[in-house]
Amino acid sequence: MKAVNSLASIRVRYQASTAIAIITAGIFGMAGAVQAAEVRHEEGEWLKPSGKGWGELDPSGETARNAQKLAKRQKANGINYYGGPVMLGTPNIYYIWYGTWVNTAQTILRDLASTLNSSPWENINTTYFDGTGAHVTGSVTFKGETTDNYSQGTALSDAQIQTIVSNALTLGGLPTDTNGIYFVLTSADVNETSGFCTQYCGWHTHGTIAGNDIKYAFVGNAARCPAACTNGTAPPNGDVGADGMASIIAHEQVEAVSDPDLNAWYDQRGQENADKCAWTFGTTYTTSNGGVANMRLGARDFLIQQNWVNASGGYCAKSYP
């Protein structure tokens, strides 16, 4: 999940029926503290990921039991493996363009998906592996796209996001791909009612669709709330919405690969690899059009958040090795 960026924010944490509010403030680039709902936890408790950037209590206790068993044989890199699958081989990226889109924005985001493959940034994910020791490859392919002309309206629930994905497989012509990640990308007139622009800018999860375990993500249009879902600097490709979404797509993609079923790689707070580096960009530079970027992928400059390297004690970086 890509949590919301704002100048001053409230992090609301819940435990049972008790809610407490903690006011936090900080500076990340030109914007500030993260706003997200996070379950309150005590020292020694382990949370499981929600896919939206904050941890949730695990009533079964399985997360804690796995953590205690696995931590004994894992290196201390600030993130732990809990036994679930990772996406091996070459995962495929699919776009579902929901709403009304202009070609310039679509071109920016197609270029992103087409140039992540084996990039220094994508290679950070090769530090993650499954229970057999098989590592993520760092390879991804932009495999296909389809459009959805507001089939679920302009105010979407989490359940409707899954319906949009299901429709894309049955009506939109996309294949049913268990090694794929389906991104529902919404135009600026569309809201996701469970917290877009207030608690998150995007999220990922998985669900059973047509009898298969399908990985999918929601990424809202940053132009709807640039103060929340961009870092406030000039966009490197001149499009606030698409440039802001590029970092969020990259965030959700690496999390979906390293933790597709929300039971593989995360830390004690339930944060996945990209969550641990949210809204950090490292060294940046100014592009020829006056935008701010931190990496070049293919023929374009992008401002993409850092990712967590699961090696050498763990750290945020733009590239690996």
Predicted local confidence at residue 280, as pLDDT: 98
Predicted local confidence at residue 178, as pLDDT: 98
Predicted local confidence at residue 69, as pLDDT: 63
Dihedral sign for Cα 100, 50, 178, 279, please: positive
Predicted local confidence at residue 40, as pLDDT: 42
Other Cβ atoms closer than 10 A to 185: 27
Predicted local confidence at residue 268, as pLDDT: 87
Predicted local confidence at residue 22, as pLDDT: 24
First-to-final CA distance of the chain:
24
Predicted local confidence at residue 72, as pLDDT: 54
Residue 142 near residue 177 (C-beta atoms within 8 A): no
Model confidence at 18, pLDDT cuts 50, 70, 90, reads very low
Of 70-79, 142-151, 263-272, minimum mean pLDDT range: 70-79
Q: How far apart are CA 173 and CA 34, in angstroms?
A: 37
Residue 13 near residue 45 (C-beta atoms within 8 A): no
Q: In Å, what is the CA distance from 169 to each residue of 131, 144, 166, 173, 303?
A: 30, 11, 5, 6, 31
Helices vs. strands in the chain: H and E counts, helices first: 5, 24
Residue 238 near residue 229 (C-beta atoms within 8 A): no
Whole-structure pTM value: 0.88
Residue % of the chain over a pLDDT of 90: 77
Predicted local confidence at residue 24, as pLDDT: 27
One-letter identity of residue 151: S
**Residues facing residue 203 across a β-bridge:** 218
pLDDT, the chain, mean: 87
Q: Is the pLDDT of residue 21 over 70?
A: no
Q: How far apart are CA 124 and CA 129, in angstroms?
A: 12
Predicted local confidence at residue 77, as pLDDT: 95
- What does the pLDDT look like over 84-124, one tens digit per residue? 999 999 999 999 999 999 999 999 999 999 999 999 999 99
